[in-house]
Structure 1
Amino acid sequence: MAAVDTRTETGTEVPALGGIPLLGSLFDLKSDSLGTYLRAQQQHGDVVRITAGPPGLRAELYCVFSAEGAQQVLASESANFRKDNSFYQEIRDSFGNGLLTSQDEDYLRQRRLVQPLFTKRRVDGYADAVAAETQAVIAGWEQAPGGVVDVGEEMMQLALRAVARILFGTDVEATVDVVDRCFPVITDYVLRRGYSPANIPRTWPTPGNKRAAAAMDELYAVCDKIIAERRSGATAGGEDLLSLLAAATSTDDVEFDAAELRDQVLIFLLAGHETTATSLAFSLHLLARHPEQQARAREEISRVLGDRTPEAADLDRLPYLTQVLKEAMRLYPAAPVIGRSSVAATEVGGRTIPAGSDVILAPWVTHRHPRYWPDPDRFDPDRFTPEAEAGRPRYAWFPFGGGPRACIGQHFSMLESVIALAMILRAYEFEAVDTDIPLSAGITLQADGPIRCRVRGTAGRRPDSAG
């Protein structure tokens, strides 16, 4: 961790959100953190201090809600805002020190090794794998009881299978069941520890520690087995991402060792399926609630694609569908909260954030900020026409983060999402069954219940003929 700079900046004191004596906003954050951040901005503006917990164990969060503040934290002064908080440490301890969590020279070396594998040309080559997994989902919905599907669960499976196929190639079946079983146990464990003011050591034999350790052991073992087989030549991977990672070297001939390879794989699995699944599920949910926009998207898909399977080049040919996706990501950002730790005292929006502070950015709030988004709760894909986008600050919308730590997989996420949505909407019409979805902020945005839609095969075609 970098040394804390004790300099001070000129600026006024940060206003505080009111809470209860001794505990502050602890219970508000536990019961509805997203609503609490939104209320803080509405009551006190774009830089707000929130305290939570009893004296001696109190957390003090400095929340930055403006687009300009987000740009300062993530981009223009990113070196001053690090991933040094306890939440990121819990992710490191569970999922390894991959691109999401690493810092300084570790991060720069990893980025140099991984960057060539995420060029547009390389990522566009994964379109066929996404289409194949989407086709399997489309065919399966023919037998949905009562024609109702939980798009939250279905998109989670689709995104997991797609990223596992791209990572592991022919070894996809060996990993999907393990990830599906172990990830929820580990992510729940990370959340409990990450938000707790004090934790017992992971080595203590409590039931929670033992469950998490068993899940991590099983997950690590399947990854290590595939990595060892691939590196020994016992199995051929070809062009899957694991093979490319294993062969990756930098200009100074540095490569990943086996443990580092596993760390990257685990982080790609974590960041690469839950985020895309969230965007897909809420795109379908919103279209199911807005039939006019659904019909407009379907007309574009039919006109552009006809009956052929979508390919990477179709992203530019489906502008309205892309606008739908971006608007869904505005209203339901997969990473609704982003944390950093300040090194030096810094003035943001005329307020002084002290050195060593926990800093919170909240796309959930910034994406609803009335300064950038008139009638912010309304679903309107036309907010993302090129002209409308040009009229807003760069960080009014930042579902992929930004600056030097922006998500390396954002093009893949957009590619996967547009291809999957195009195939699904061409095959089915959607009507919302669940209209109000309870939400919470985990490592990613979580739907605390089903996201059910009634599906009907589109007129004149069988669902299993799409593509």
Structure 2
Amino acid sequence: MSLTNSSSGAGAGAAQTPGGGAPAAIPGPAGLPVIGSLLDLRRDSLGAFLRAQREHGDVVRLEAGPPGLRSVFYAVFAPEGVQQILGTQAANFRKDHPLYEEVRQAFGNGLLTSQDDDYLRQRRLVQPLFTKRRVDGYATAVTTEADAVAARWRSAEEGVVDLVPEMNRLALRTVARILFGLDVEAAVAAIHHSAPVINDYVVRRAYAPLKVPRDWPTPRNLGNRRATAELNALCDRIIAERRAAAAGGEVSDHDDLLSLLAAAGNDEDGTLDATEVREQVLIFLLAGHETTATSMAFTLHLLARHPGEQTRIRAELSRVLGDRTPTAADLDRLPRLTRAFKESMRLYPAAPVVSRRAVEATEVAGFTLPAGADVVVAPWVTHRHPDLWEDPERFDPDRFAPEREAERHRYAWFPFGGGPRACIGQHFSMLESVLALATLLRSHELEAIDQDVPVAAGITLQATGPARVRLRAL
């Protein structure tokens, strides 16, 4: 996500050493006169963070914007610092960043954005829906949608497809089927139309130096209002239908996630009301659609660029699956494919930058981050840290062999976050991605046309150019 205009109460950025010694200035790029690092961050925030780490170290201070609108924030890149922020001292680093407030306004106060007692209550209510046993039951929905893509690819014009929209469509249809069950077609149409409008609106507002009030009738405000109303109406209609059927004594055969959310409850936390159910659904659509699509698209593209690895994975698929459809039980039987997927998430983490705000001054790697400071950790940078990864830009799935994983710091690789706010859908993401990739790689050989895919950071990692491959049906 671009971090050019995050607000901060960080002060002047000279950190006091513990014990009241002389201040130790947190290093960082000087940037341009007047505007600091604003242009670098706007043009290529991910590249700017990489350069900041290489040139200034693992705790960096950045400034962006003209006087009066200047933002100051701190980036932490070493895994030990990431562990403090996301894990051991997570209570001191809250989701109070402007981006999260905009996501709250757009999608509601679901698991991604809620905090404190609200978050704990929601987590307790939703957790039973994401047990391994429950998630494994969604395998058929995944392979059904992946089989449909494989069938469509057999008739692709000139045998060429762009993996970015293809995987976006696959992930969207899969999560819509799991969330909404039989209402998948209506859901896909509404989400495909509305989600990009809302996402663009959220990012622009989060990093705008001056925000136009939401109730002003500007074109962007009106467009976002229409898109939000469309998604809300879809969710509210289906929720009302499910609850009306239950109230009328109908025995429902729906086992989609929306129905389970509507029925979730316990003696301590009660139940989710209709608005809370909708907010959880919208967050799951956001978190479970674009992130998975990105991870699958880049895994296939990397394999298309590395035919030897693609051949080894296909041999594994043939040996383990034969002619049968993959199931949840196969997840642990496909280590080669799983390693390739993890290596893709290292190089192209779907959440490339994660934002927090410090409550109290905190020492990290010998520097003190001030109270009120906006702080970011960046999988995009840590996953390329030369002290952690040899030849970090090289695609090497064997980095994730069990013995090599065991040697690394827990937070050297954190595409699903970590600590008490780690992604609740991690197992679902792994299951969906590995089973869908297995289905597609077994049916087609892929050859890369575009060697490099440009990317940028929005709410999630965005491909800004095509990732075309030539297909050969097997």
Alignment TM-score, normalising by the size of structure 1: 0.95
State the secondary structure of the residue aligned to 1:352. Answer: strand
**What do you get for the CA RMSD once the two structures are aligned?**
1.5
For residues 267 and 166 of structure 2, what CA distance do their matches in structure 1 show?
42
Match of 2:339 in 1: 323
1:127 aligns with 2:139: yes
Deviations 1:342-389 (A, max 9, x none): 000011111111000000110000000011100000000000000000
Of residues 108-117 and 242-251 in structure 1, the stretch that sits farther from structure 2 once superposed is 242-251
For residues 266 and 278 of structure 1, what CA distance do their matches in structure 2 show?
18
CA-CA distance at 1:13 after TM superposition:
2.4
* Aligned partner (choices 336, 341, 366) of residue 350 of structure 1: 366
CA-CA distance at 1:18 after TM superposition:
1.9
State the secondary structure of the residue aligned to 1:171. Answer: helix
Match of 1:406 in 2: 422
Deviations 1:117-157 (A, max 9, x none): 00001000000110000000000011111100111111111
CA-CA distance at 1:316 after TM superposition:
0.6
Deviations 1:319-355 (A, max 9, x none): 0100000000000000000000000001111111100
1:333 aligns with 2:336: no
For residues 437 and 301 of structure 1, what CA distance do their matches in structure 2 show?
27
Alignment TM-score, normalising by the size of structure 2: 0.94
CA-CA distance at 1:69 after TM superposition:
0.7
* Aligned partner (choices 177, 181, 184) of residue 165 of structure 1: 177
Match of 1:260 in 2: 276
The structure-2 alpha-carbon separation of the partners of 1:19 and 1:295, relative to structure 1 and needing over 3 Å to count, comes to same
For residues 221 and 239 of structure 1, what CA distance do their matches in structure 2 show?
21
* Aligned partner (choices 287, 293, 312) of residue 271 of structure 1: 287
Contact 1:12-1:351 within 8 A present in 2 as well = yes
- Which residues in structure 2 correspond to 1:76-95 (within 5 Å)? 76-95=88-107
Match of 1:465 in 2: none
Match of 2:409 in 1: 393
Match of 1:445 in 2: 461
Read off the aligned partner of 2:62 and give its amino acid letter: I
Deviations 1:198-229 (A, max 9, x none): 20111001111111111111111111111111
CA-CA distance at 1:250 after TM superposition:
2.5
For residues 127 and 340 of structure 1, what CA distance do their matches in structure 2 show?
34
Read off the aligned partner of 1:113 and give its amino acid letter: L
For residues 211 and 237 of structure 1, what CA distance do their matches in structure 2 show?
37
Deviations 1:251-292 (A, max 9, x none): 325110111111000000000010000110000000000011
Contact 1:298-1:425 within 8 A present in 2 as well = yes
Match of 2:157 in 1: 145
Contact 1:342-1:356 within 8 A present in 2 as well = yes
* Aligned partner (choices 225, 237, 240) of residue 225 of structure 1: 237
Unaligned runs of 5+ in 2: 1-8
For residues 128 and 266 of structure 1, what CA distance do their matches in structure 2 show?
23
CA-CA distance at 1:300 after TM superposition:
0.4
Deviations 1:42-81 (A, max 9, x none): 0000000111111121111100001111111000000000
Match of 2:6 in 1: none
State the secondary structure of the residue aligned to 1:429. Answer: strand
- Which residues in structure 2 correspond to 1:450-461 (within 5 Å)? 450-458=466-474
1:38 aligns with 2:38: no
For residues 211 and 34 of structure 2, what CA distance do their matches in structure 1 show?
20
For residues 79 and 410 of structure 2, what CA distance do their matches in structure 1 show?
7
For residues 288 and 451 of structure 2, what CA distance do their matches in structure 1 show?
27
CA-CA distance at 1:436 after TM superposition:
1.3
For residues 79 and 343 of structure 2, what CA distance do their matches in structure 1 show?
17
The structure-2 alpha-carbon separation of the partners of 1:139 and 1:197, relative to structure 1 and needing over 3 Å to count, comes to same
1:62 aligns with 2:78: no
For residues 401 and 246 of structure 1, what CA distance do their matches in structure 2 show?
27
State the secondary structure of the residue aligned to 2:151. Answer: helix
CA-CA distance at 1:233 after TM superposition:
0.7
Contact 1:5-1:343 within 8 A present in 2 as well = no
For residues 41 and 450 of structure 1, what CA distance do their matches in structure 2 show?
29
CA-CA distance at 1:12 after TM superposition:
2.8
* Aligned partner (choices 199, 203, 211) of residue 211 of structure 2: 199
Match of 1:461 in 2: none
Contact 2:87-2:418 within 8 A present in 1 as well = yes
Spell out structure 1 runs of 4+ moving beyond 2 A.
4-9, 234-237
Contact 1:298-1:426 within 8 A present in 2 as well = yes
Unaligned runs of 5+ in 1: 459-467
Deviations 1:411-452 (A, max 9, x none): 000000000111101000000011111110010000002111
For residues 335 and 149 of structure 1, what CA distance do their matches in structure 2 show?
25
Count matched residues.
Answer: 455
Read off the aligned partner of 2:406 and give its amino acid letter: A
